[in-house]
Amino acid sequence: MGAMRSAAIEVVDVVIMDDRPSKVARAIRLAKRTQKVVWENIVLALAVKGFFISLGAMGMATMWEAVFADVGVTLIAVMNSMRLLR
């Protein structure tokens, strides 16, 4: 497979570097979990941003609060994504 270092490596999207095709199933499971986490992060970020945009439009939130909320959402998204490392 990939260990043979053939010219096909330059063309394919995924390379199995050993001779165990069972890793394809593991890669598919990881891809599905990754997609789920990405959607969680997107929904969370949009919800928080929408909340602070509405608060800002009503004059109840300052720019600094929105900046801290944005940084907080970024940190939460990174920590949420780190779950995939298990």
Average pLDDT over residues 30-34: 95
Regarding predicted confidence, which is higher, 61 or 11? Answer: 61
Q: How far apart are CA 62 and CA 55, in angstroms?
A: 9
How many helices (H) and strands (E) in the chain?
2, 0
Domain ranges of the chain: 2-85
Regarding predicted confidence, which is higher, 66 or 17? Answer: 66
Regarding predicted confidence, which is higher, 43 or 1? Answer: 43
Average pLDDT over residues 18-30: 85
Tokens 């890669």 — which residue?
27
Q: In the numeric block, which tokens belong to residue 64? A: 């600094």
Give 30-71 as a DSSP string: HHHHHHHHHHHHHHHHHHHHHHHHHHHHTT---HHHHHHHHH
**14 pLDDT more than 80:** no
Orientation angle between helical segments 63-81 and 23-57, nearest 10 degrees: 170
